[in-house]
Chain A
Amino acid sequence: MSRFIVRRLLSVIPTFFIIVTLSFFLIRLAPGGPFSREKKIPPEIMANIMAKYHMDEPLLNQYFRYIGDVLKFDLGPSYRYKDHSVNDLLGAAFPVSIMLGTMALGVALLLGTLVGVTSALNQNKWQDYAAMSVAVLGISVPLFVIGPVLMLVFALQLKWLPTSGWINSRAGWKTVIMPIATLMMPYFAYIARLSRGSIIEVLRSDYVRTARAKGLKERVVIAKHVLKGGMLPIVTYLGPAFSGIIIGSLAVEQIFVIPGIGKIFVQSALNRDYTVIMGEVIVYSLILIAANFVVDILYGLLDPRISYK
Chain B
Amino acid sequence: MTDDVILQVKDLKAYFKLDEGLLKAVDGVSFDLRKGETLGIVGESGSGKSVTNLAIMKLIPTPPGRIAGGEVLFIGKDIFKMSDEEVRKIRGNKISMIFQDPMTCLNPFLRISTQMIETIVLHQGLDKKAAKAKAIEMLKLAGIPAPEKRIDQYPHQFSGGMRQRVMIAMALSCEPEILIADEPTTALDVTIQAQILELIKELSARLGTAVILITHSLGVVAGMCDAICVMYAGRIVERGTADEIFADPKHPYTQGLIKSVPRLDKVSSQRLYSIPGQPPNVINLPDCCPFFPRCERAMDVCKTKYPKIAEIGAKRSVACWLYGEGK
A residues near B (Cβ < 8 Å) are 204-217, 220, 224-225, 228-229, 302-305
Instruction: Identify B118's interface contact among A206, A209, A214, A303, CB under 8 A.
Output: A214
Binds A, one of B35-43, B106-114, B282-290: B106-114
Cβ contacts under 8 Å, A213 to chain B: 57, 59, 91-92, 96-97
Size of the chain B interface, CB-CB below 8 angstroms: 29
Cβ contacts under 8 Å, A304 to chain B: 108-109, 111, 154, 156
Instruction: Kindly state whether residue B123 has any CB partner on chain A within 8 Å.
Output: yes
Shortest beta-carbon distance from B206 to chain A in Å = 21
Cβ contact within 8 Å between B104 and A205 = yes
Residue of A nearest to B157 (CB): A304
Shortest beta-carbon distance from B25 to chain A in Å = 16
CA–CA, A215 to B105, complex, Å? 15
Instruction: Kindly state whether residue B90 has any CB partner on chain A within 8 Å.
Output: yes
Cβ contact within 8 Å between A211 and B88 = no
Instruction: Kindly state whether residue B93 has any CB partner on chain A within 8 Å.
Output: yes
Cβ contact within 8 Å between B109 and A215 = no
Cβ contacts under 8 Å, A209 to chain B: 59, 99, 105
Cβ contacts under 8 Å, A225 to chain B: 107, 110
Cβ contact within 8 Å between A229 and B109 = yes
* 18 sample A-B contacts, Cβ–Cβ < 8 Å, listed by A number: A206-B99, A206-B104, A207-B106, A207-B108, A210-B107, A212-B91, A213-B92, A214-B92, A215-B89, A215-B92, A215-B122, A215-B123, A216-B88, A216-B122, A220-B118, A229-B108, A302-B109, A304-B156
CA–CA, A290 to B109, complex, Å? 26
Instruction: Kindly state whether residue B119 has any CB partner on chain A within 8 Å.
Output: yes
CA–CA, A129 to B123, complex, Å? 38
Cβ contacts under 8 Å, A217 to chain B: 88
Considering only residues 78-131 of chain B, those with a C-beta below 8 Å from chain A are 88-93, 96-97, 99, 101, 104-111, 118-119, 122-123
Cβ contact within 8 Å between B104 and A215 = no
Cβ contact within 8 Å between B90 and A210 = no
Shortest beta-carbon distance from B325 to chain A in Å = 41
CA–CA, A302 to B108, complex, Å? 11
Cβ contacts under 8 Å, B96 to chain A: 213-214
Shortest beta-carbon distance from A296 to chain B in Å = 17
Cβ contact within 8 Å between B122 and A214 = yes
Cβ contacts under 8 Å, B111 to chain A: 304
Residue of B nearest to A206 (CB): B104
Cβ contacts under 8 Å, A214 to chain B: 91-92, 96, 118-119, 122, 170
- Given known contacts A224-B118, A304-B154, is B93 in contact with A215 (CB within 8 Å)? yes
Known: A215-B119, A224-B110. 6 other contacts (CB 8 A): A211-B107, A215-B89, A217-B88, A228-B109, A304-B108, A305-B108
Shortest beta-carbon distance from A257 to chain B in Å = 46
Cβ contacts under 8 Å, A224 to chain B: 110, 118
Residue of B nearest to A208 (CB): B107
Cβ contact within 8 Å between B108 and A210 = no
Cβ contact within 8 Å between B154 and A207 = no
Cβ contact within 8 Å between B156 and A305 = yes
CA–CA, A220 to B92, complex, Å? 15
Instruction: Identify A215's interface contact among B90, B99, B107, B108, CB under 8 A.
Output: B90
CA–CA, A56 to B275, complex, Å? 88
Instruction: Identify A206's interface contact among B105, B122, B123, CB under 8 A.
Output: B105
Cβ contact within 8 Å between B101 and A206 = yes
CA–CA, A304 to B90, complex, Å? 31
Cβ contact within 8 Å between B118 and A216 = yes
Cβ contacts under 8 Å, B167 to chain A: 210
Considering only residues 39-67 of chain B, those with a C-beta below 8 Å from chain A are 57, 59, 61
Cβ contact within 8 Å between A215 and B91 = yes
Shortest beta-carbon distance from A227 to chain B in Å = 10
Shortest beta-carbon distance from A305 to chain B in Å = 5
Residue of B nearest to A210 (CB): B105
Cβ contacts under 8 Å, A215 to chain B: 88-93, 119, 122-123
Cβ contact within 8 Å between B106 and A210 = yes
Cβ contacts under 8 Å, A204 to chain B: 61
CA–CA, A213 to B53, complex, Å? 11
Shortest beta-carbon distance from B200 to chain A in Å = 16
CA–CA, A228 to B110, complex, Å? 9
Q: From B91, B96, B107, name the one whose CB has the most chain A CB atoms within 10 angstroms.
A: B107
Cβ contacts under 8 Å, B106 to chain A: 207, 210
Cβ contacts under 8 Å, B59 to chain A: 209, 212-213
CA–CA, A209 to B57, complex, Å? 11
Cβ contacts under 8 Å, B118 to chain A: 214, 216, 220, 224
Cβ contact within 8 Å between B104 and A207 = yes
CA–CA, A305 to B111, complex, Å? 11
CA–CA, A212 to B105, complex, Å? 11
Shortest beta-carbon distance from A212 to chain B in Å = 6
CA–CA, A210 to B57, complex, Å? 11
Of all A-B residue pairs in the complex, the 4 with the closest CB atoms, nearest first, are A215-B91, A214-B92, A215-B92, A206-B104
Cβ contacts under 8 Å, B88 to chain A: 215-217
Cβ contacts under 8 Å, A305 to chain B: 108, 154, 156
Residue of B nearest to A232 (CB): B109
Shortest beta-carbon distance from B59 to chain A in Å = 6
Residue of A nearest to B116 (CB): A214
CA–CA, A24 to B96, complex, Å? 66
CA–CA, A224 to B118, complex, Å? 10
CA–CA, A225 to B105, complex, Å? 12
Cβ contacts under 8 Å, B156 to chain A: 304-305
